[in-house]
Amino acid sequence: MNRRQAVTQVAWMLGGVFSAPTLQAMNRWEQIAKTTSAGTPTGKFLSETQHELMGRVAELIIPRTVSPGVESPRVESPGALDAGVPDFMDVMLRDCYTKAAQDIFLAGVSDLERKNFVTLSTDQQTALLKQIEADAQKSTNPTFWLITKELTLLGYFTSEVGVKASFDYQPIPGKFEAIKIKPGQKDFMYGNQA
Amino acid sequence: MNLNLKADKDQTYDAIVVGSGMTGGWAAKELAEKGLKVLVLERGYELKHVEDYKTAFSDPWEFEHRGKIPIVAAEEHYATMYFSAKEGSQFFFTNDKENPYVQKRPFNWIRAYHTGGKSLLWGKHTYRWNEEDFLANAKQGLGVDWPIRYADLVPWYNYVEKFVGISGQAEGLAVLPDSNFLPPMAMTAPELHLKKSVAQKLNRPITIGRVAHLTKPQPVHSAVGRATCQFRNRCTRGCPFGAYFSSLAATLPAARRTNRVTIVHNAIVKEIILDDKAQKAKGVRVIDQNTMEVRDFYAKVLFLNAGTIGSTSILMNSKSARFPTGLGNDSDQLGRNLMDHHLAIGARGDIDGFEDDYFFGARPGSLYIPRFRNWGTDKRSYLRGFGYQGGATRADWSRGAAETGFGADFKKKMTQPGPWKINLSGFGEVLPDPNNRFTLSNDQTDKWSLPQVVFDADFGENERAMRKDIMNDGAEMLEAAGFKNVVAYDNPVAHMGLGIHEMGTARMGKDPKTSILNKFNQVHACKNVFVTDGSAMTSASNVNPSLTYMALTARAASYAVEQLKARNL
Ligand SMILES: Cc1cc2nc3c(=O)[nH]c(=O)nc-3n(C[C@H](O)[C@H](O)[C@H](O)COP(=O)(O)OP(=O)(O)OC[C@H]3O[C@@H](n4cnc5c(N)ncnc54)[C@H](O)[C@@H]3O)c2cc1C
Ligand code: SF4
């Protein structure tokens, strides 16, 4: 068995915990083994303009929310930018994704660059992302949208600001018991994902 | 000359234990508590309880890749990606690139070369084998008969269980004999529903997983510094509370407190030194994994606890005029009958109607569905059986990537518990087959010039036939309980090794012509060498094996000390 098979099967066993891009990412073992000596790559994956563009996309997926009060708008909960998602994306794309997935991702970014995404109105941006999402739905292959969404969610919901704003974080629960849910109950988080 | 004699004396112990993992810890504890001066040789680096659980208290955001393994690291840990695919625990798993092996047929060899071995990684599912497990070979004319029966192990199960600390529910089932239990962990609402439905509609019992976690520590546990489980389920990063059983948290501290135990790390045991005249082992030859220095250590009795493949490799490497194909290998069974449990198969589904139900805490354990096939009046086309581990939980934010939508409402939704999901994962028994084996390579070596292990084993017809039932029966139970979107799954490339329950290769038996070890885990032809890890297993059962290894180890240690005292060794 080669490693590609090993990893596919392994991720398969995890019962869908990994998305196809993450899977593919792991297949990059073979390439990396051939081309690099041990050690983590360094340097930036995204250019500055791509970084900015992806920040905008991520913020539309997980926006900062502000309470309506006109007098002194209060941040209700932070968004992808507050959680540093673009930097996180950069590290993940560099270290954890295959060349193939990286290429799919970069093609998606270029497409948005061509459409001058950052200069569009928020409504136009949202409409465009909805279209991209609808197209992605039809694809059986990993898409720019899936990679972006996965990284945005992971980057946000495991960040310090994201966890603290979103969940009832219980690093040491001390017991396990069945309970009834309370109205508006936030999800419990235990910090055991890593 | 004098100098050498003195050196020999300094390196002479009553007993040498090879390996400090699940079984080595028990051997060290038992032998030392019975008064022997014990040397433990561990090939890996020193890992210290609590202090070396570097990530145990790390928050998710403290991991650069938030738990995912970078490609470069994955390359070095290829065999272990299934279990080490987390940033916080990867350092517990052995680097496969530095410790290569050959796969004639696919095999994942998952190892933990450091103090405590795989007892730091295990899932802690802890089950007694049943009476039938020790009889099946003889009844079915497969492999060889076990030289012991369930009754021989009962006192030893009792003995080790109390020290280990096992949480679980007594059920009075012959198929899954009860242990000495600490309080059971709770079931979630859909799990209770499944239990009830499956009992009513299919007459199959479901119980809470029996796991080696302290739900209510007893004085014997507190005495070595172990405390109550905190339900963080960060066990794979090491437990600073000592709440789950590992040799690092439990048996090694107990062994050390006798002041009769020395542990040497980075000591790769290469071979056993045979005293040809006496037909006994004199000691072992060791390579320092860092300096390559070769040293010999001597003892009256040797316990091999290097893990199934490790211990059998040492026997294979110990060639002499008397044993040209490996120590004790008169039967040619050394390396044969390699077994594991087959897995990566089962069923999953969703359930509606429990929207109000939730749970607090992260449970380090799951449900257990005991074997029901080929049991009682049930008869199948294949032999033996399987069980399931699994459970129901609510989906978290990670469900979002697969769902449509984004923006403020979507974000809010992801902060609330998602739908209930259930998974039942089957573990099936693998039959002993002499052609499922490993050997040592003639030409490929590792960096210590030791021959690489060559795996050549696969599931057979029986396992494949059983897999169909594992899928279908899993789905049937979920459907009986009204679960939706039930998917029965089978991974077509599932193979040996991934079960991490490697067993066999130096089996016990009554007849030295067909087995390597006798009923006390002694090498038939070299009585002062004991092998008490998974190598000794004559068949595989379908339940997790470690408790049985521990019971066998304590039993063999007690016997060894008796025999030493009687001057029979
Ligand atoms: C992820 C995972 C989940 C598991 N879940 C369960 C479970 O739920 N229930 C269950 O019963 N079992 C489970 N297991 C299996 C369990 O961990 C093993 O059965 C058990 O640890 C075997 O004990 P051992 O003493 O034979 O080997 P180990 O615990 O691996 O110890 C062997 C030790 O020997 C050392 N060694 C090896 N070769 C040499 C040498 N040549 N010289 C010196 N030292 C050497 C190693 O470094 C190691 O420290 C699981 C395993 C893993 C990895
Ligand atoms: S869940 Fe229990 S055993 Fe596991 S790490 Fe937490 S306290 Fe330790």
pLDDT digits (tens, 9 = 90+) for B406-455: 999 999 999 999 999 999 999 999 999 999 999 999 999 999 999 999 99
Q: Is the pLDDT of residue A19 over 50?
A: no
Size of interface A-B (CB pairs under 8 A): 223
Q: Residues of A with CB below 8 A from B57's CB?
A: 171
Rounded-to-integer distance, Cα B435 and Cα B496, Å: 13
Q: Is the pLDDT of residue A20 over 60?
A: no
Give pLDDT, residue B81: 79
Question: Which tens digits make up the pLDDT trace of A77-115?
Answer: 999 999 999 999 999 999 999 899 999 999 999 999 999
What is the CB < 6 Å shell around ligand 2? B 213, 229-235, 239, 241, 243-244, 364
The percent of residues in chain A predicted with pLDDT above 70, rounded, is: 77
| Contact A87/B at CB under 8 A | no
Neighbour-count burial for B153-186, b at 16+ CB within 10 Å, e otherwise: beebbebbbebbbbbbeebeeebbbbbbbbebbb
What is the predicted pLDDT for the residue at A42?
Answer: 60
How confident is the model at residue B84, as a pLDDT? Answer: 67
Pick from B207, B205, B172, B170: nearest CA to B187: B207
**What does pLDDT average to over chain A?**
82
- Which structure tokens are listed for B183? 């309080």
Q: Identify the pLDDT of residue B491.
A: 83
In the structure, what pLDDT confidence band is assigned to residue A34 with cuts at 50, 70 and 90? very low
Whether residue A160 and residue B357 make contact (CB cut-off 8 A), yes or no, is: no
Q: Say what the pLDDT of residue A25 is.
A: 39
Report the distance separating Cα A140 and Cα A132, nearest Å.
Answer: 14
- CB burial readout B257-276, b (16+ within 10 A) else e: ebebbebbbbbbbbbbbbee
pLDDT for the residue A36: 37
Question: Is pLDDT at A142 greater than 90 in this prediction?
Answer: no
Cβ distance B344 to A166 less than 8 Å, yes or no, reads no
- Give the ligand at the shortest distance from the Cα of B122: 1
Q: What is the pTM of this model?
A: 0.93
Contact (CB, 8 A) for B26 and B159:
no
Question: In this structure, which residue's CA is closest to atom 5 in ligand 2?
Answer: B235
- What are B130's two structure tokens? 């049943």
Nearest chain A residue to B344 by CA: give it. A13
Angle between helices B150-164 and B546-565 (to 10 degrees): 100
Using CA positions, which residue lies closest to atom 8 of ligand 2? B239
**Chain B contact set for A98 (CB, 8 A):** 71
* pLDDT (0 to 100) of residue A8: 42
Residue nearest to atom 33 of ligand 1 (CA): B19
Residue B152 and residue B559: Cα distance in Å, rounded? 13
Nearest CA, atom 37, ligand 1:
B306
Which residues in A lie closer than 8 A to residue B240 (C-beta atoms)?
none
* Dist. CA B89 → ligand 1 center (Å): 16
pLDDT of the residue at B6: 62
Residues of chain B whose pLDDT is less than 50? Answer: 1-2
- Across the interface, of A7, A9, A180, the residue whose CB is closest to B491 is A9
Mean pLDDT of the A50-56 span: 97
Residue B549 CA to residue B304 CA, distance in Å, equals 12
- pLDDT for the residue A75: 82
* pLDDT score for A41: 54
Give the C-alpha separation, A150 to A91, whole Å: 14
d(CA B455, CA B339): 12
A100–chain B Cβ distance below 8 A for any pair: no
**CB-CB neighbors (< 8 A) of B69 in chain A:** 26, 96
Q: Which of B194, B226, B196, B223 is nearest to B347 (CA)?
A: B194
Mutate to test the interface with A, among B55, B66, B348 (most CBs of A within 10 A): B66
Distance between Cα B238 and ligand 1 center (Å): 15
Taking all residues of chain B, what is their mean pLDDT, rounded to a whole number?
96
For residue B546, which atom of ligand 1 is closest to its CA?
11
Nearest CB neighbour to B360, from listed A29, A36, A188: A188
> By three-state DSSP, how is residue B115 classified?
coil
* pLDDT tens-digit series, residues B335-348: 999 999 999 899 99
